[in-house]
């Protein structure tokens, strides 16, 4: 079941021309989400690109270059940042709260270093972590399909109740001044472009020769982009208007202990996400990264990245499942490639036209490759259950897996409004899995099955 072929191991450095293309592949994988978080929270996208690169390089140094992980903007912080910043008015206070999150990472890393990770095997056995990894991939399935097949259309505002009812799609915004509504609706054209992008990536991965075989995501994005241009879906106006060189608007944090109290509970969410990503990365690489270089180093590296980003106005970072998916497909684990992507992100923060050019990639193109990337992650979780011989005939395992999958994929939310804490999706599924694993008694096979084995 396990593909142990490694095309490029952690410390192998590719030829310069391969290096550039492999790094661009990771840049494309993380770009959309990394830029989206600051757009949603009122932060500067260019600063987010720069801090993602800085954070990734810092993480690689702390982990001794043994973990190929790209750190991009974390979605877990969107709600608390919006709560504290109040529409951008108190962004400095929100940044201080993010800085404190990074410090908390360091505290947890110190605890892990002091007491080891044996507790992790009991806390997150294969039946829990395998199910959580499946959730990591499939919880994003709806997002990938939405990106691939939906688009926003601006229409004239309906005048009658019947016209409102006849709108096809989901109404996103209403602009009474302009007399328009923005509708999120199905687009066959978008879906065909996404499917073409997906097909190019699959064909390249399965049948590509030589170097082409290890850049299927890049090939899919480039091929899909060209198809989108031919279909008239690309607007180059932002590229023409962007400056060649622009210094990002860096921002300093402002001390606020209230912001710390509001944002600190989110640590539980990002810690669960971090551990899940580290375990699935190790599973793909066929090595235990929680022991070498160690979970404590990984947590510390992420914490330094979060605090460093907060000091100059960037959003908190997290390891990215999209980039894990790229490595799972290509079997290229070189930290030189990840580092190259980090340097590209940092340079793009200052080169306005290049950054604008990447942002012109249509959503369905990224949706097409996301279908493959997120599916690969889910498949890694399924493989983990198979390799550890998890017996779903045992009711205990069946209950744990079933509940984790439905809560995670279904998007269940546990919301504590008073302390601005939300546990949803993967984080909530992880907590529920841990609790069920702790309280459910271990069961033996049914008596009838035992008698059959004896007979």
**Tens digits of residue pLDDT in 249-276:** 889 999 888 888 777 767 766 787 788 8
Spatial CB neighbours of 26, under 8 Å, sequence gap ≥ 6: 70, 323, 326, 337, 338, 340, 341
β-strand 150-156 against 180-186: which pairing, if any? antiparallel
Q: Residue 336 has which token pair?
A: 């030189």
Instruction: Say how many C-beta atoms besides its own lie within 10 A of residue 272's C-beta.
Output: 22
Element (H, E) at 171: strand 170-175
Which residue did the predictor score with more confidence, 98 or 384?
Answer: 98
Phi, psi of 244 (to 5 degrees): -70, -40
CA angle 21, 22, 25 (to 5 degrees): 90
Query: What value does the mean pLDDT take over residues 410-438?
Result: 78
User: Which two tokens mark 201?
Assistant: 């990536």
User: Could you state, in order of their start, the residue ranges of all structural domains in the chain?
Assistant: 16-148+192-439
Task: Assess whether pLDDT exceeds 70 at residue 173.
Answer: yes
pTM over 0.75: no
Question: At residue 455, does pLDDT exceed 50?
Answer: no
Query: Could you tell me if 404 and 433 are in contact, meaning their C-beta atoms sit under 8 angstroms apart?
Result: yes
Q: Which of 100-104, 217-221, 327-331 has the highest mean pLDDT?
A: 100-104
pLDDT value, residue 388: 81
Tens digits of residue pLDDT in 287-322: 889 889 999 999 999 999 999 999 999 999 989 878
pLDDT one-digit tens code per residue, 64-117 = 999 999 999 887 777 678 778 876 678 899 999 999 999 999 999 999 999 887
Task: Kindly report which listed range (263-267, 343-347, 410-414) carries the lowest average pLDDT score.
Answer: 263-267
Strand, helix or coil for residue 415: strand
d(CA 308, CA 298): 15
Per DSSP (E only), the strands in 248-349 are: 317-319
Chain mean position to CA 41: 17
Task: Count other C-beta atoms under 10 Å from residue 83's C-beta.
Answer: 15
- CA nearest 5: which of 327, 279, 373? 327
Beta strands in 22-99 (DSSP E): 71-73
């Amino acid at each position: 079941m396990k593909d142990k072929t490694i095309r490029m191991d952690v410390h192998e450095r590719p030829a310069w021309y391969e290096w550039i293309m492999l790094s661009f592949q990771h840049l494309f994988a993380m770009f959309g989400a990394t830029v989206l978080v600051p757009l949603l929270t009122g932060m500067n996208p260019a600063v987010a690109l720069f801090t993602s690169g800085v954070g990734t390089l810092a993480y690689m140094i702390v982990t001794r270059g043994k973990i190929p992980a790209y750190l991009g903007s974390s979605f877990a912080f969107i709600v608390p940042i919006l709560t504290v910043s109040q529409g951008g008015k108190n962004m400095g206070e929100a940044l201080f709260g993010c800085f404190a999150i990074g410090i908390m990472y360091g505290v947890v890393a110190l605890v892990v270093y002091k007491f080891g990770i044996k507790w992790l095997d009991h806390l997150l056995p294969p039946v829990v972590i395998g199910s959580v990894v499946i959730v990591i991939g499939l919880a994003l399935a709806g997002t990938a399909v939405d990106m691939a097949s939906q688009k926003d259309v601006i229409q004239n505002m309906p005048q009658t109740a019947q016209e409102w009812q006849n709108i096809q799609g989901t109404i996103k915004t209403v602009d009474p001044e302009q007399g328009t509504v923005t509708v999120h609706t199905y687009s066959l054209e978008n879906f065909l472009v996404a499917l073409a992008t997906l097909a190019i990536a699959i064909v390249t991965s399965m049948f590509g020769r030589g170097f082409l075989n290890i850049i299927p995501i890049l090939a899919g994005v480039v091929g899909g982009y060209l198809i989108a241009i031919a279909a008239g879906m690309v607007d180059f106006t932002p590229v023409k208007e962007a400056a060649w060189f622009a210094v990002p608007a860096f921002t300093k944090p402002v001390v606020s202990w209230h912001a710390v109290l509001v944002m600190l509970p989110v640590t539980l969410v990002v810690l669960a996400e971090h551990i899940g990503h580290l375990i699935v990365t190790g599973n793909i690489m066929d090595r235990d990264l929680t022991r070498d270089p160690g979970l404590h180093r990984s947590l510390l590296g992420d914490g330094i990245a979060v605090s460093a980003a907060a000091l100059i106005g960037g959003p908190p970072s997290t390891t990215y499942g999209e980039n894990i998916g790229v490595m799972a497909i290509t079997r290229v684990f070189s930290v030189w490639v990840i580092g190259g992507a980090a340097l590209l992100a940092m340079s793009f923060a200052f080169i306005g036209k290049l950054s604008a050019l990447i942002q012109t990639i249509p959503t369905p193109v990224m949706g097409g490759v996301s279908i493959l990337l997120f599916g690969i992650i889910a498949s890694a979780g399924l493989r983990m259950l198979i390799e550890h011989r998890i017996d779903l005939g045992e009711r205990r395992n069946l209950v744990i897996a079933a509940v984790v999958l439905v809560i995670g994929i279904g998007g269940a939310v546990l919301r504590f409004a008073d302390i601005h804490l939300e546990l949803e999706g993967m984080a909530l599924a992880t907590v529920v899995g841990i609790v069920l694993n702790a309280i459910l008694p271990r069961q033996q096979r049914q008596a009838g099955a035992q008698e059959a084995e004896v007979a």
